[in-house]
Amino acid sequence: MRARLRVVGAILREAAASAWAQPVASLVSVVIVAAMCASVLLTTGRTVGAEDAVLSTIDSTGTRSIVVRAEAASGLDSTVLDRLANVDGIEAALAFGPAIDTRATAFAGGAPVPVRTLWGGGLVDARGAPAIISPAWASPVAIDGLGLLDGTGGVASDDGRDYSIVGELAVPDYLAFLEPLVIAPQPDDSVGAVSVLVVIADTPDLVGAVAAATGSLLAVDDPTTVTLTTSEGIAQLRAIIEGQLGTFGRELVLVIFGISALLVAAILYGFTLLRRKDYGRRRALGASRSLIVTLVLLQMTMVAIVGAAFGTGAALTTLAATGDPLPGADFAGAVAVLAVVVAVIAALLPATVAARREPIRELRVP
Amino acid sequence: MSEVGTLPRPARHGALLAADDVTFGYDRAAPLLDGWSQRFDAGEVVAITGPSGRGKSTLLYLLGLMLKPSAGHILVDGVPAQALPDRERARLRAGRFGFVFQDAALDATRTVLDNVCETALYRGDDPREARMRASALMERFGVQLRAAAKPGQVSGGQAQRIALCRALLHAPRILLADEPTGNLDPDSSRVVMGAFREHAASGAAVVVVTHDPSIVAQCDRTVEL
Q: Phi/psi of residue A67, each to 5°?
A: -115, 130
Q: Do the Cβ atoms of B119 and A360 come within 8 Å?
A: no
DSSP H or E stretch at residue B177: strand B174-178
Whether residues A298 and A154 fall in one domain: no
Query: What's the gap between Cα A96 and its chain centre?
Result: 31
Whether residues A187 and A142 fall in one domain: yes
Whether residues A125 and A223 fall in one domain: no
Whether residues A358 and A269 fall in one domain: yes
Cα A116 from Cα A103, distance rounded (Å): 13
In a domain? residue A2: no
Whether residues A199 and A79 fall in one domain: yes
The single-letter code of the amino acid at A151 is G
**Chain B residue with minimal CA distance to A4?**
B124
Q: Which of A11, A277, A281 sits opposite B121 (nearest CB)?
A: A11
The CA-based dihedral angle spanning residues B143, B147, B150, B151, taken in that order and rounded to the nearest 10 degrees = 20
**Chain B residue with minimal CA distance to A23?**
B109
Cα B78 from Cα B16, distance rounded (Å): 7
pLDDT in tens, chain B (225 residues): 333 333 444 333 458 899 999 999 887 778 888 888 999 999 999 999 988 888 888 899 999 998 889 999 999 988 888 888 888 999 999 999 999 988 888 988 889 999 999 999 999 888 888 999 999 999 888 888 776 788 888 888 888 889 999 999 999 999 999 888 877 788 888 888 999 999 999 999 999 999 888 889 989 999 988
Expressed as residue numbers, the domain containing A103 is 98-191
Whether residues A299 and A333 fall in one domain: yes
pLDDT of residue A294: 92
Q: Phi/psi of residue B110, each to 5°?
A: -110, 160
Q: Do the Cβ atoms of A10 and B120 come within 8 Å?
A: yes
Domain count across chain A: 3
Helix (H), strand (E) counts: chain B: 7, 9
Whether residues A171 and A201 fall in one domain: no
In a domain? residue A6: no
Size of interface A-B (CB pairs under 8 A): 81
Closest Cα to residue B204, out of B90, B106, B76, B118? B76
Domain boundary (A169, A204, A230) is at A230
Read off the DSSP letter of residue B55: S
Q: How far is B183 from chain A (nearest CA, A)?
A: 14
Cα A286 from Cα A15, distance rounded (Å): 17
Question: DSSP 3-state assignment of B158?
Answer: helix
Q: Do the Cβ atoms of B122 and A287 come within 8 Å?
A: yes
Q: How far is A284 from chain B (nearest CA, A)?
A: 7
B157 touches chain A (CB under 8 A): no
Whether residues A353 and A277 fall in one domain: yes
Q: Which of B87, B109, B122 sits opposite A22 (nearest CB)?
A: B109
Cα A39 from Cα B61, distance rounded (Å): 49
Q: How far is B96 from chain A (nearest CA, A)?
A: 10
Start-end of H helices in B85-173: 86-95, 112-123, 127-140, 156-168
Residue A217's DSSP bridge partners are none
Which of chain B's residues have a Cβ under 8 Å away from the Cβ of A7?
Answer: 124
How far CA B26 is from CA of A25, A355, B32, B58, in Å, comes to: 35, 21, 8, 10
pLDDT of residue B94: 92
Query: What's the gap between Cα B212 and its chain centre?
Result: 17
pLDDT of residue A109: 63
pLDDT of residue B14: 55
In a domain? residue A5: no
Closest Cα to residue A325, out of A45, A59, A57, A35? A45
Whether residues A256 and A327 fall in one domain: yes
Cα A37 from Cα A256, distance rounded (Å): 9
Whether residues A146 and A74 fall in one domain: no
Cα A114 from Cα A120, distance rounded (Å): 19
Mapping DSSP onto H, E and C, the string for chain A reads CHHHHHHHHHHHHHHHHHHHHCHHHHHHHHHHHHHHHHHHHHHHHHHHHHHHHHHHHHHHCCCCEEEEEECHHHCCECCHHHHHCCCCCEEEEEEECCCEEEEECCCCCCCCEEEEEEECCCCEECCCCECCCCCEEECHHHHHHHCCCCCCEEEEECCCCEEEEEEEEECCHHHHHHCCCEEEECCCCCCCECCEEEEEECCHHHHHHHHHHHHHCCCCCCHHHEEEEECHHHHHHHHHHHHHHHHHHHHHHHHHHHHHHHHHHHHHHHHHHHCHHHHHHHHHHCCCHHHHHHHHHHHHHHHHHHHHHHHHHHHHHHHHHHCCCCCCHHHHHHHHHHHHHHHHHHCHHHHHHHHCCCHHHHCCCC
**ipTM of predicted complex:** 0.86
Q: Do the Cβ atoms of B105 and A287 come within 8 Å?
A: no
Closest Cα to residue A111, out of A137, A135, A144? A144
Cα A112 from Cα A30, distance rounded (Å): 68
Q: How far is B104 from chain A (nearest CA, A)?
A: 10
pLDDT of residue B10: 39
Cα B42 from Cα B61, distance rounded (Å): 19
How far CA B186 is from CA of B167, B183, B222, in Å, comes to: 21, 10, 21
Whether residues A145 and A104 fall in one domain: yes
The correct CATH number of B2-26+36-224 out of 3.40.50.300, 1.10.8.60, 2.60.40.10, 3.40.50.1000 is 3.40.50.300
Which residues does chain A have with pLDDT short of 70? 1, 3, 59-62, 108-110, 121-134, 232-233, 235, 245-246, 248-249, 361-366
Q: How far is B139 from chain A (nearest CA, A)?
A: 22
pLDDT of residue B222: 92
Whether residues A311 and A272 fall in one domain: yes
Cα A320 from Cα A337, distance rounded (Å): 21
The single-letter code of the amino acid at A199 is V
Question: DSSP 3-state assignment of B101?
Answer: coil
